[in-house]
A and B are shown apart, each in its own frame.
Chain A
Amino acid sequence: MKKIIAAFVLVSSTSLLAQTGSLNESVKRGKIVYNKVCLSCHMADGGGVPHLNPPLIKTSYVLGDKKMLIGIVLNGMTDRVPIEDEYYSNNMAPHNDLSNQQIADVLTFIRNNFGNKASAVTVAEVNAVRNKKK
């Protein structure tokens, strides 16, 4: 019995480690995508530009429904909706030229940076939204 428990603990802690490792890897890759594609509008600190480009810091859009967030990256955003009571004027382009892996990475980076702490976005989740769109 003890052996079983020990084995269980070993397995679960390894998978936890593996998961943390993959999160870190994803964040690392995501930062490269962010700097290349997102930074010029959302700024290096994720703060955006008042009234023009929305911030990515602890907003409901970033921390909330992952499907919606993935959809914004794939389809862009031209709707004028309030984000934490503020309106933003600039249109966001669709970024469907990014791979599922790149989108998963960049969203994982955003959700675990700029003071955010939220679950990773997986390739499967991006794939599901992309396929649903078609």
Chain B
Amino acid sequence: MRKKIIAVCLSALIGVLHINAQVAIQNIRVSSEQDKTIKLPEGFTASKIADGYGRVRHIAVTPQNGIYVKLSKLYNGKGILYFKNAEGYGKFEVAASFGNYIGTGIAVKGNYLYASSDEEIFRYKLNEKGEVVNPENPEKIVTGLLNRHQHESKSITLDNAGNIYVNIGAYSNACQEKDRTKGSPGMKPCPILDSAGGIWMFKADKLNQKYAEGIRYATGLRNVVGLDWNTETNSLFVMQHGRDQLHDLFPDLYDTKQSAELPSECLYELHQGSNCGWPYIYYDHLVNKKIIAPEFGGDGKKSTDDYNTPIVAFPGHLAPNGLLFYTGNQFPEKYKNGAFIAFHGSWNRAPEPQEGYYVVFVPMKNGKPNGKWEIFANGFAGKDISPRGAEHRPCGLAQGPDGSLYVTDDTKGTIYKISYKKP
């Protein structure tokens, strides 16, 4: 009798273990209390809603307040995590994980979830709860995008007319014959621009599209990670990662201080055919000019009127990885239609101190700034403001249905929720 009971207990236990094994992701408990390490304007608070999932890149929130994140390193073999409200607002747990590919881009539009690897874009049908119906069988929308290992991540956003926009980063710093090599001349025309260094537009509902079926929507963009469709202006905005190593490559023209500050990290508004000028020029926010790049005959001063002018220009190398136009009603009026930008933080300012690792806000109206940009959320890095020492590095941004702002971190895999309450 006793043996039988033990046997039953054992098999029940094995059954439980078996079921647990099928649940790929164990939830990591986080405190839902306010995270006071994040410094915010008065009335705002931040809390961690998830922590410890590794390289969490971009984030998309459904109208039902479900959260999808894209990982650039598989977590328990999965590249997309879905978090759901566990018990009321504020507490989330992993309800699903799927997708065996790494990547950065993720977006929710209509009844679909869109996600990108570094070469392809997929979409997943959502049900009325905003949950993926068939996680193992997505539709492949775009295939064969160039991945030459530098600036390889593919960020995505959609307009309201059935198009999806994807960044294809240039596999180069400044389109020299030999990348990042002192004395190597710039190539004009830059051969990279045919297949990279810009934003490509595809149909959001057509399967297996390749370059030939896409449109090079905008060019002359070295690398874009943060991009968003502005519904107020009905146009695409992107944040460019500017070129590196002005001092390393041209020590006679730039000292280390100038090289840390330049070139500007730029916010551009794009239309079909826009050309932002990489690799031939860069923007200098200290003199508000488009400066000829030294690989193409520039001396650090010669400027041009050609090419798009940025809407806002920030100090160099801050690495803008997330862009979001705020359309919610929770935050005060000044935030409406303004831009939040998640700066991942610099590396190419060494030996000067590093900078960034914060979320910036730009007050805007009709796609133009109507005030100075300001640091909105800071403190992610902790004490060591460096790419390797930072505790957290802001990466993706999303707005919840209640108007809260979500910020991801791709160092430890933390997701922050920032909310406002009138003080």
Instruction: Please give the residue numbers on chain A whose beta carbons come within 8 Å of chain B beta carbons, in ascending order.
Output: 35, 37, 39-41, 43-45, 47-50, 52-53, 55, 76, 78, 80, 87, 89-94, 97
Residue total for B at the interface (Cβ-Cβ under 8 A): 23
Bound CA–CA A76/B181 (angstroms): 9
Q: Which of B79-87, B137-145, B211-219, B344-352 is the interface stretch?
A: B344-352
In the complex where A43-B386, A43-B388, A47-B388 touch, is A93 in contact with B182 (Cβ < 8 A)? Answer: yes
Q: Which residue of A lies closest to B349 (CB)?
A: A40
Determine whether the beta carbon of B179 is less than 8 Å from that of A93: yes
Instruction: Please give the residue numbers on chain B whose beta carbons come within 8 Å of chain A beta carbons, in ascending order.
Output: 149-152, 173, 178-184, 245, 247-248, 347-348, 350-351, 386-388, 411
B9 CB → nearest A CB, Å:
41
Specify which of A47, A50, A53 lies most central, judged by the most chain B CB atoms within 10 Å of its CB: A50
Residue of A37, A39, A47, A89 touching B149 (CB-CB under 8 A): A89
- Complex A-B: 23 CB contacts under 8 Å: A35-B351, A37-B248, A39-B351, A40-B245, A40-B248, A40-B348, A43-B347, A43-B388, A45-B388, A47-B388, A48-B388, A49-B347, A49-B387, A50-B387, A50-B388, A76-B178, A87-B149, A89-B149, A89-B152, A91-B179, A91-B180, A93-B182, A93-B184
Determine whether the beta carbon of B180 is less than 8 Å from that of A40: no
Q: Which residue of A lies closest to B152 (CB)?
A: A89
Determine whether the beta carbon of B150 is less than 8 Å from that of A91: yes
Which 9 A/B pairs are nearest by Cβ-Cβ distance?
A93-B181, A49-B347, A93-B180, A91-B179, A47-B388, A80-B149, A49-B387, A89-B150, A40-B350
B270 CB → nearest A CB, Å:
25
B33 CB → nearest A CB, Å:
29
Determine whether the beta carbon of B388 is less than 8 Å from that of A49: yes
Q: Which residue of B lies closest to A37 (CB)?
A: B248
Q: Which residue of A lies closest to B249 (CB)?
A: A93
Contacts of A50 in B (CB 8 A): 387-388, 411
Contacts of A39 in B (CB 8 A): 350-351
Contacts of A47 in B (CB 8 A): 388
Bound CA–CA A37/B181 (angstroms): 11
In the complex where A39-B350, A40-B350, A97-B182 touch, is A90 in contact with B150 (Cβ < 8 A)? Answer: yes
A53 CB → nearest B CB, Å:
7
Known: A43-B386, A45-B388, A93-B182. 16 other contacts (CB 8 A): A35-B351, A40-B245, A40-B247, A40-B248, A40-B348, A40-B350, A41-B347, A41-B348, A43-B350, A43-B387, A48-B388, A49-B388, A50-B388, A78-B179, A80-B149, A91-B173
